[in-house]
Chain A
Amino acid sequence: MRAYERLQAARDAERPTARAYIERLFSERTELHGDRKYADDPAVIGGIGLLGEIPVTFIGIERGRNLEERIQCRFGCPMPEGYRKALRLMKQAEKFSRPVICFVDTSGAFCGEDAEERGQGQAIADNLMQMMALKTPIITIVIGEGGSGGALGLSVANRVYMLENAVFSVISPEGCASILWEDAKLAADAAECLHITAEDMTEFGVAEDMIPEDFAHFSRMCESLKERLVLDLKGYSRTPGEKLAEERYQRFRKLGRWAE
């Protein structure tokens, strides 16, 4: 499939949202709310649960499963308090040595007057810096759209997985086309030029691996995802927190291409 078709697939309203993965992957869940500073953002869900026998902190950007939910969580566009809530749960996970599993699915952080007033940029920036130094494993799975800084705010992980049709992009292809070519209809071309597919991400070192999609057999798909995550976490279990942070840092430190 071409990049733009992948993007359409990633945005498909029928596609399972973060909540569906969380319900399938983790048992004995307690959902936690609020950033302890301003509000609870329904676009970012999070809590504690068991992955097999391992207690973990899960955090996901939720697009909503029906229209009512979608409006409530602004179609999966987090507010600053969403990022601050995520960071609070991650620091809590670090304190109790729990691994963190993040699910990313957003067209981007919310663009609004209130979001700017409450420091959308500052909230994301803080997540990037603090996640980089977190002394517990972080695994991020991009399950749909990985839209720009709003997606990056939950993606500073030790490992990043991309679902087969998930995409990750610095800007929406529509936005790119309208800025560069003053024509949002050229989004398909922009999608191609921007290199946003799961294969592109593994090539650039932005993602470790691609996860095949099989939504017709969603339980089976989640079962194998669960096995993979358990295996990853077992692999991390003997690594000291400092080293996990250092590995994460090195993973990002080398990203980019230049000549010298």
Chain B
Amino acid sequence: MNNIVGLFRKSRNVLEKGGITPVVEEKMRCPSCKSYETKRAVAKNKMVCPNCGHHYRIGARTRVKALFDRDSFQELFANIATVDPLEFPGYAEKMERGRAVSGETEGVLCGTAAIRRQPCAVFIMEPQFMMGSMGSVVGEKIARLFEYAEENQLPVVGFTASGGARMQEGILSLMQMAKVSGTVGKHGENGGLYITVLTDPTTGGVTASFAMLGDIILSEPKATIGFAGRRVVEQTTKKKLPEDFQSAEFLLQHGFVDVIVPRNEMRQTLERLLRQHGGKGAML
């Protein structure tokens, strides 16, 4: 169940042709504890280092596989496409690269899914697509998801990962913060449950809007979460900031995160919370 080893199998044939070890048996070095583990072992552990618990960043669809009931995910709003409203220099190329690197068409994946047969509406931001930055399409897809959830009496589970508002769409990106916050509010007014899961990194305009608006705010361990970038803060304050500044643990300590949940316990945590909010619809 929820095995994501397949993540590494895609490229197997290419590598095997040269007589190299199957890719899943290759070792990868943990950037945190520097230990070597096979890709299979890391993937089996949901892309968490079995030695030190370092959480690798994972793509949106990998997260779907790792977390939700098999084949329960139904994508929504995939037809909403990005235009280049300001004809911003280099934007088209950046979009192209984002597509190639992530395999997604935009910075968020939306849909419905189930955890132990409990249905929910989900959005998962894609850190590999232009750093999960939020332009018109990301905003519109998440706004529609909250409306869809409201109509269908579904709880929303949202995974944030974003560098903030996407500057290539200028003020239109900034306005998505207000727009999505408005739909979060409406869903909530009607009794809807919204659980946010902050993942690395959640910063800028996403932190200053729907990331911080969950009824319950969970976070993956050690995720960077903040409004201003660390470098900007260091420049303003002219002093070296503590190592854990803007980490999930820092936010927990200051009262802005409810619980830090390791990826391996995320499914059962969400399952429990959904169940305790009324099972199926998690609504009154």
Residues of A with Cβ closer than 8 Å to B? 109-113, 115-122, 124-126, 128-130, 132-133, 148-149, 152-153, 155-156, 168-171, 176, 179-180, 193-196, 200-201, 204, 206, 249, 252-253, 255-260
B167 near A111: Cβ-Cβ < 8 Å: no
A170 near B171: Cβ-Cβ < 8 Å: yes
* Contacts A149-B205, A193-B88, A256-B175; A109 near B254 (Cβ below 8 A): no
Complex Cα distance, B182 from A169, in Å, reads 20
* Contacts A111-B228, A121-B226; A252 near B179 (Cβ below 8 A): yes
* Contacts A148-B174, A204-B171, A255-B176; A260 near B80 (Cβ below 8 A): yes
Complex Cα distance, B184 from A252, in Å, reads 13
* Contacts A129-B182, A258-B137; A120 near B171 (Cβ below 8 A): no
Complex Cα distance, B165 from A156, in Å, reads 17
Complex Cα distance, B153 from A7, in Å, reads 46
Contacts of B151 in A (CB 8 A): none
Contacts of B211 in A (CB 8 A): 121, 125
Instruction: Tell which of A180, A201, A253, A259 touches B81, judged by Cβ atoms closer than 8 Å.
Output: A259
The smallest C-beta distance from A155 to any residue of chain B, in angstroms, reads 8
Instruction: Tell which of A113, A128, A169, A176 touches B209, judged by Cβ atoms closer than 8 Å.
Output: A128
Verify if B172 is at the interface (C-beta below 8 Å from A).
yes
With a 10 A CB-CB cut-off, give which of B79, B137, B169, B179 has the most chain A CB atoms: B179
Verify if B143 is at the interface (C-beta below 8 Å from A).
yes
Interface-forming stretch among B7-15, B67-75, B229-237, B274-282? B229-237
Verify if B178 is at the interface (C-beta below 8 Å from A).
yes
A258 near B81: Cβ-Cβ < 8 Å: yes
Q: Fill in one digit per residue for B110-139: 1 if any A CB lies within 8 Å of its CB, else 0.
A: 000000000000000000000000011101
Complex Cα distance, B207 from A116, in Å, reads 11
Complex Cα distance, B254 from A35, in Å, reads 18
B167 near A121: Cβ-Cβ < 8 Å: no
Verify if B213 is at the interface (C-beta below 8 Å from A).
yes
A120 near B143: Cβ-Cβ < 8 Å: no
A256 near B213: Cβ-Cβ < 8 Å: no
Contacts of B212 in A (CB 8 A): 119, 121-122, 125-126
Verify if B227 is at the interface (C-beta below 8 Å from A).
yes
B167 near A194: Cβ-Cβ < 8 Å: yes
Complex Cα distance, B134 from A256, in Å, reads 11
Complex Cα distance, B165 from A124, in Å, reads 14
A111 near B171: Cβ-Cβ < 8 Å: no
* Contacts A169-B171, A194-B167, A257-B83; A118 near B178 (Cβ below 8 A): no
Instruction: Tell which of B175, B182, B246 touches A249, judged by Cβ atoms closer than 8 Å.
Output: B182
Instruction: Tell which of B90, B170, B236 touches A112, judged by Cβ atoms closer than 8 Å.
Output: B236
Residue pairs across A and B with Cβ atoms less than 8 A apart, 22 shown, are A111-B236, A113-B245, A115-B227, A120-B208, A122-B256, A124-B208, A125-B177, A129-B182, A129-B213, A133-B182, A148-B174, A149-B174, A149-B205, A149-B209, A149-B227, A170-B166, A170-B169, A179-B167, A193-B86, A249-B186, A255-B176, A257-B172
